[in-house]
Structure formats: C-alpha cells, structure tokens
Homo-oligomer: A and B are copies of this chain.
Amino acid sequence: MNILIIGGGGFLGQKLAHRLEAAGQLRNSEITGLTLADITAPGAVAAPFAVKTIACDITDPAAVSGLLTARFDTIFLLAAVVSSHAEAEFEVGMQVNLHGVLNVLEAARLTETVPVLVFTSSLAVFGGEVPDPIRDWTIPNPQTSYGTQKAIGELLVNDYSRRGFVDGRALRLPTISVRPGRPNRAASSFMSSIIREPLNGEEAVCPVDPDFAHYYLSPRMCVQNLIRGAEVAAADLGQNRTMTMPGRTLTIRQMIDAMTAVAGPNAAQLIRFEDNPAIRNIVTGWRFAYDPAKALALGLQADNSFEDNVRYYLEDDRPA
C-alpha cells in the first residue's frame, strides 16, 4: 500500500500522516510507502515504512505528472486555496482549486493504475435558495468561488471514477473546529480561533454574533472519516461518490458553553465580539442544517459533543 497525500504539509495532511503511521495499514494492506507533497516540502513523519516529502505545485501539470509516475494505491487530495483567499484572488483560486485538481485527475488518468482518490470538498458548495435540511441530493449552489471550485472538483471526481480513471470519493468537510495552529485565510478561521486562542490564554475576535449557527467536526474525527472514505468499497458508493461528512450543528454560544464546561469560565472572557462584514457575508451564506445520510450509512461519524472537540484540542494540539 503506497500512499500519496497532496497537501501533506497542512494540518490535516500531517494529522492524517501520523494516523496512517500509527495504523500501519489501510484497506487491510500493509503500508509500504507514504509520500507527502505540498507547495513547499512538508515536515517528515517518522514511520516504520518509507516516508518521502516532496515540493510540488499542483498548478504545474508537468510537476503533477512527475509526482504520479510513482505507483500510488491511494491518493488523498487535500491541497486547496481556502475560501477567503479564493474569494480575494480569483485567479489563484481557479488555478489551484480547479486546474490543480484537474492536473491531478489527468495525471492519474494517464497512469496504468486506478488509485483510490479521496478528495476533500466542503460545505461551501451549498448556499442560496434550497430547502433545509441539505440532503445528499440537494443541489450544490455555492455562493463563493471556493465553493464553486470544490463543487466542480466533486463533479470531476465522479466522472473520472465512472470512467475508471480513478476510484474517487469526494468528502465534504464541515468546518473543522478546533483546528490547531494559527488563523488562516479561511473565512471560517474564527470558528477555531475563538476556542483555540482562549484555551492558549490569548484573546480572540468573533466576527459574527453568538446566535450564528454552523456545522462542525473535530480534526480527530475528520481524519478518521478521511481514512474511512478510503476504505469504503467502491460498490457501496452508488452513482454519486460525493457525500457530506457527518458533523454537529451548534451556535457560537453553544461552542463557548462547551469550552467553559471543559476548561472553566476564564477562557470565554478572552473572546471579543466585533462585526466583520466581509467574513459575515461569506459565512452567513453557508448552511448549517444537514442530513448526511449516505456518509452515516457508510460508517463515517460525527463527534459525540463539542465538549469532545475541546478535549481533543487539549489532548492533541495545545502547545506545551
């Protein structure tokens, strides 16, 4: 089992690499190699199998073809320009999120192998005038360029799979919280900051009001679901290889209450509410009521509670 993680330098890619290292196998097959590729060479991961790290710009078709000359049984395609970035810089978003994904699929098409390919899509594909809850057969009607590019990726993964070029699975990620590290250009970045920074003893700004509701998943469960996504039998996927990862819907207030329940009342004092129309306009266009029936039937899972998400952050990610 030779595995490639494109976007292997990001926090999800790194967590996934560590989880694969700990498991030692995927689809009941011993892992013999792991390659982590990203725009700059990712951090290495110590493992009992060979781990390579490679710098690869997915907007460069030749670089992607070169990367895929190695025979990979499973590819995790996590690389992307995030939502606010793709909204602010249209051409960059199109190059990475549309043409980059096409470059990977085309390179895979032109190899002899048919890798399992797990593509991370996003809830940002949903929006506009569609009835709640969002079901597996609800139209992606994105109201951002990022969501548009992800929805296109889903369609491509489906068609390249139907034609037998890859064995693809497109998993729509809920907002990941509590995400480790520093704030990024995802419009959803604050949904981790308002928990992470206070738990680290730092101030955080919340750009929407406490009643704002959203759909969340912990990094730990997200990684588990990515692996499950790679393990589902192709025959069980039916005629649409896209599914929404199970999550939990909470308001900002409920997230903060969960943090208080786990870590005491002081952390919440570090949150300042300050309206930010640019962020608010993006995230209030997203939807928060989902029925992820297909993913649940295939064994993907939500967290038990947001209290768990807070605990996972403290256990897995809080700086020492």
Residues of A within 8 A of B (CB): 90, 127-131, 136-143, 145, 148, 151-152, 155-156, 158-159, 162-163, 238-240
Distance in angstroms from A137 CB to nearest chain B CB is 4
CA distance A30 to B64 in the complex (A): 51
CA distance A240 to B140 in the complex (A): 10
Q: What are 24 inter-chain pairs, A to B, with CB distance below 8 A?
A: A90-B163, A127-B239, A128-B238, A128-B239, A128-B240, A129-B136, A129-B238, A129-B240, A131-B137, A136-B139, A137-B138, A137-B139, A137-B141, A138-B139, A139-B139, A139-B140, A140-B155, A143-B239, A145-B159, A148-B156, A148-B158, A148-B159, A151-B155, A152-B155
Distance in angstroms from A59 CB to nearest chain B CB is 15
Report whether over half of chain A's contact residues are helix, strand or loop; otherwise say mixed.
loop
Chain B residue nearest to A137 (CB atoms) is B130
CA distance A140 to B156 in the complex (A): 12
Partner of A152, one of B128, B130, B138, B152: B152
Distance in angstroms from A148 CB to nearest chain B CB is 4
Which B residues lie within 8 Å of A128 (CB)?
238-240
Distance in angstroms from A235 CB to nearest chain B CB is 14
Would A143 and B155 count as touching, CB distance under 8 A? no
Which B residues lie within 8 Å of A158 (CB)?
141-142, 148
CA distance A266 to B130 in the complex (A): 49
Chain B residue nearest to A99 (CB atoms) is B102
Which B residues lie within 8 Å of A155 (CB)?
140, 142, 148, 151-152, 155
Partner of A239, one of B129, B148, B152, B240: B129
Q: Assuming A136-B139, A139-B140, what are 11 further A-B pairs, CB within 8 angstroms?
A: A128-B238, A128-B240, A129-B136, A129-B239, A130-B137, A141-B239, A142-B155, A142-B158, A148-B155, A152-B152, A152-B155
Which B residues lie within 8 Å of A137 (CB)?
129-131, 138-139, 141
Which B residues lie within 8 Å of A163 (CB)?
90, 145
CA distance A129 to B155 in the complex (A): 15
Which B residues lie within 8 Å of A136 (CB)?
129, 139
Which B residues lie within 8 Å of A90 (CB)?
163
Distance in angstroms from A160 CB to nearest chain B CB is 9
CA distance A193 to B162 in the complex (A): 29
Task: With a 10 A CB-CB cut-off, give which of A90, A136, A137, A139 has the most chain B CB atoms.
Answer: A139
Distance in angstroms from A158 CB to nearest chain B CB is 7
CA distance A36 to B275 in the complex (A): 50
Distance in angstroms from A97 CB to nearest chain B CB is 11
Q: Which 7 A-B pairs have the closest CB atoms?
A: A128-B239, A148-B159, A130-B137, A137-B139, A139-B139, A141-B240, A152-B152
Which B residues lie within 8 Å of A145 (CB)?
159, 163
CA distance A238 to B148 in the complex (A): 16
Distance in angstroms from A134 CB to nearest chain B CB is 10
Which B residues lie within 8 Å of A140 (CB)?
139, 155
Distance in angstroms from A34 CB to nearest chain B CB is 31
